Structure 1
Amino acid sequence: MTPSPLALAIISLTSEAPMHPYRMHHLLKLRHKTDVINLRLRGTIYQMIARLEQHRLIEISGTQRSESNPERTLYEATDLGRTTALEWLTLMVTSVKNEYPDFPAALSYLTLVEPSDALVLLEKRSRTLESKIKKMTEDLQGFINCIPNVLILENQYSLEIIKTEHAWVNRTISSIKIGSLKWSTKEINEISIEMDRSPC
């Protein structure tokens, strides 16, 4: 089975105690793990649970019923699951790979628009990043007094990455404004054709 952040999270949660999918989802949100793990698609966690169970990394440990809720299936990590989670953790921490985010891909085709239009787009991104930095900083300040530092490393890392991107975007905006970064879409098209004939 291919390692994934969500799979690692589920094995980790079910190593703490047997739990049902709804509680897993609740804890991931409560612990702000959804800041770094994609749970936007409905049913994602159930699909991953089914895959983990198929690979014997988690197993059904029983059911839970209460007066206000229907019967729910409880899952717990297997010994194989715990061993696999440690292998995945090692791989994910030590490996550096290209994750193909959207923004760099869009930058590679920024010359589809003229510098003035690119400036508008980048300024909008800068404002969005600034708002995100403010919110993440406030969230981290709230965590400091109640959560051990080691449990918010991913939030600290994400904030530093966004700060770095924000600084780069602002430098690029300045370069366009002062004219040190400029282009003509027509000229770029001509250069691209020439590069196809005579690659660098």
Structure 2
Amino acid sequence: MGQPGRNVMTPLAIAVLALLDERPMHPYEMYQLLIARREDLLVKVRPGSLYHSVARLADDEMVVAEGIGRAGNRPERTTYRITDSGRSALRARIAELLRMPVQEYPIFRVALSEAHTLPREQVVALLDERVEHLSRARADMDALLDWTRGRAVPRRYFVVLEYMRATTHAELTWIEDFAAELGSGAVPWEQFDPGTGERITDDHPHEWPGGDHPEAAPRPRWAARS
């Protein structure tokens, strides 16, 4: 028997337990609901990974099989329900994630931190292209929000869309402003030989205080948690 807790509380496991907190259902029904509710925008949802997640939760006694049923000529399907320990673990994990920021590692941040390895004009063009993608994403979220409001879906069920829309808008605005600064020449940038593409900037690459023993920048308190 496993030990219920954070070791199995993946994003998909949280989504599964939250569905079963509504009512018992079988994994394929969970999959259909997650897709219909567009929760695939929040977690990676594939039938195989969902069935695996349910099996792990069952091993840890967070969910339990309630019965096997068949509809017409369809295969038999096992219905699961959440256990008391599963419900407690779900609520504790959600409370923890709401309360405490954790250090995540979005790949765009890595690209942005190393963008100086590309010529200024190329970075501006790439960021302008990203702005176009983000603008379309924001429009899609607006359409989703209109759809939910038009069907009187309670706001508590789609507040995450409002958050996603707000963060997308904030990223888009920052990138637009930075790309404009970079394009105007206001931001000092690396220089490259147009023939070879080699860096020809005078200062030392990644120049940082401290020489051979670089001074460490302050570590944010939230960065210690992951």
State whether TM-score is above 0.5. yes
More off after superposition, 8-17 vs 122-131: 8-17
1:30 aligned partner: 36
2:189 aligned partner: 183
Deviation at residue 123 of structure 1 after TM alignment: 0.9
In structure 2, relative to structure 1, the CA distance for the partners of 1:188 and 1:32 (3 Å cut) is farther
Q: TM-score, normalised by structure 2?
A: 0.82
Deviation at residue 182 of structure 1 after TM alignment: 3.2
CA deviation map 1:139-175 (0-9, x unaligned): 1011113201111011110010000000001001101
Deviation at residue 68 of structure 1 after TM alignment: 3.5
1:16 aligned partner: 22
2:157 aligned partner: 151
- What is the alpha-carbon distance in structure 1 between the residues aligned to residue 190 and residue 16 of structure 2? 50
CA deviation map 1:23-65 (0-9, x unaligned): 00111111122221222x5511111111111111001111120
1:122 aligned partner: 127
Contact 1:11/1:85 (8 A) holds in 2: yes
Matched residue of 2:131: which SS? Answer: helix
- What is the alpha-carbon distance in structure 1 between the residues aligned to residue 21 and residue 35 of structure 2? 18
Alignment of 1:35-74 (within 5 A): 35-39=41-45, 41=46, 43-74=48-79
Alignment of 1:104-119 (within 5 A): 104-119=109-124
Deviation at residue 188 of structure 1 after TM alignment: 8.1
In structure 2, relative to structure 1, the CA distance for the partners of 1:189 and 1:63 (3 Å cut) is farther
Alignment of 1:72-151 (within 5 A): 72-146=77-151, 147-151=153-157
2:220 aligned partner: none
1:197 aligned partner: 212
Could you list the runs of 4 or more consecutive aligned residues of structure 1 that deviate by over 2 angstroms after TM superposition?
Answer: 1-5, 185-189, 193-200
- What is the alpha-carbon distance in structure 2 between the residues aligned to residue 189 and residue 16 of structure 1? 61
- What is the alpha-carbon distance in structure 2 between the residues aligned to residue 89 and residue 194 of structure 1? 40
In structure 2, relative to structure 1, the CA distance for the partners of 1:189 and 1:72 (3 Å cut) is farther
Q: Which amino acid letter does the alignment assign opposite residue 99 of structure 1?
A: E
Deviation at residue 190 of structure 1 after TM alignment: 1.8
Deviation at residue 15 of structure 1 after TM alignment: 2.2
Q: TM-score, normalised by structure 1?
A: 0.92
Q: Structure 1: 5+ residue runs without aligned partners?
A: none
Deviation at residue 6 of structure 1 after TM alignment: 1.5
In structure 2, relative to structure 1, the CA distance for the partners of 1:188 and 1:47 (3 Å cut) is farther
- Structure number with bigger Rg: 2
Identity %: 26
Deviation at residue 198 of structure 1 after TM alignment: 5.3
Whose helix proportion is higher, 1 or 2? 1
In structure 2, relative to structure 1, the CA distance for the partners of 1:188 and 1:13 (3 Å cut) is farther
Q: Structure 2: 5+ residue runs without aligned partners?
A: 192-198, 216-226
- What is the alpha-carbon distance in structure 1 between the residues aligned to residue 202 and residue 89 of structure 2? 49
